[in-house]
Amino acid sequence: MKKVSILATLAAALFACQANAEIREVEVTGGRVAGVAADNVVSFKGIPFAAPPVGRLRWRSPQPVDSWSGVKQAASFAPGCMQNASFTGRFGAPPALSEDCLYLNVWTPAKSAGDKLPVMVWIYGGAFAGGMTSIPTYDGTQLAQKGVVLVSVAYRLGAFGFLADAELTRENGGTSGNFGLEDMIAGLKWVKSNITKFGGDPSRVTIFGESAGGIAVSMLCASPAAKGLFHGAISESGGNFGPERVDEGAVEGGVNMAPLKMAEASGHQFLEKLGAADIKAARELNADKIQNAVNSGQGRFWPIFDGKILPGDQYELYEADRFNDTPVLIGTNSDEGASFARPGVTKASFEEQVRAGYGKKADAILAAYPHATDEEAVQSSRDLFRDSVFAWPTWAWALLQSEKGKGKAYVYYFDHKTSRTPHGAQHASELGYVFHNLGQRDPAPQANDITISDLMSTYWTNFAKNGDPNGPGLPAWPAFSASLQKVMYFDGHSSAEPTPNMTEIKAMDSYFAWRREQEKSKN
Contact 317, 224 (CB under 8 A): no
Phi, psi of 52, deg, nearest 5: -55, 125
Look at residue 14 and tell me whether its pLDDT is greater than 70.
Answer: no
Q: Does the annotation count 427 as an active-site position?
A: yes
Which pLDDT band holds residue 440 (cuts at 50, 70, 90)? low
Whole-model pTM?
A: 0.94
What b/e sequence results for 492-517 when a residue is b if at least 16 CB atoms lie within 10 Å of its CB, and e otherwise? eebebeebebeebbebbbebbebbbe
Number of DSSP helices (H) and strands (E) in the chain, helices first? 18, 18
Which of 176, 211, 402, 457 is catalytic? The answer is 211
Q: Is the pLDDT of residue 200 over 70?
A: yes
The catalytic position among 336, 430, 504, 519 is 336
pLDDT in tens, 116-170: 999 999 999 999 999 999 999 999 999 999 999 999 999 999 999 999 999 999 9
312/296 Cα distance (integer angstroms): 30
d(CA 340, CA 427) in angstroms, rounded, equals: 9
What pLDDT, on the 0 to 100 scale, is given for residue 6? 44
Which is higher by pLDDT, 326 or 298?
326
Q: If DSSP codes are grouped into helix, strand and coil, which group holds residue 490?
A: strand
Domain boundaries, the chain: 18-336+345-522
Judge whether 203 counts as a catalytic residue: no
pLDDT 10s digits, 293-323 = 999 988 889 999 999 999 999 999 999 999 9
pLDDT in tens, 355-394: 999 999 999 999 999 999 999 999 999 999 999 999 999 9
The domain made up of 18-336+345-522 is a member of CATH 3.40.50.1820? yes
The alpha-carbon radius of gyration of the chain (Å, integer) is 24
Name residues whose C-beta falls within 8 Å of residue 9's C-beta, 6 or more positions apart in sequence: none
Residue 3 is predicted with a pLDDT of 43
Question: pLDDT tens for residues 454-494?
Answer: 999 999 999 999 999 999 999 999 999 999 999 999 997 89
Are the C-beta atoms of 194 and 232 separated by less than 8 Å?
A: no
Identify the active-site residue in 231, 268, 427, 436. 427
Give 18: exposed, middle or buried? Use CB within 10 Å, 0-12, 13-18, 19+. Answer: exposed
What DSSP letter does each residue of 36-55 carry, written as one string? EEETTEEEEEEEE-S----G
Kindly list the strands in the beta sheet with 232-236, ordered across the sheet, starting from the edge strand earlier in the chain.
Answer: 36-38, 41-48, 103-108, 149-153, 117-123, 200-210, 232-236, 328-333, 409-414, 486-490, 495-498
Answer yes or no: is pLDDT of 212 > 70.
Answer: yes
211 among known catalytic residues? yes
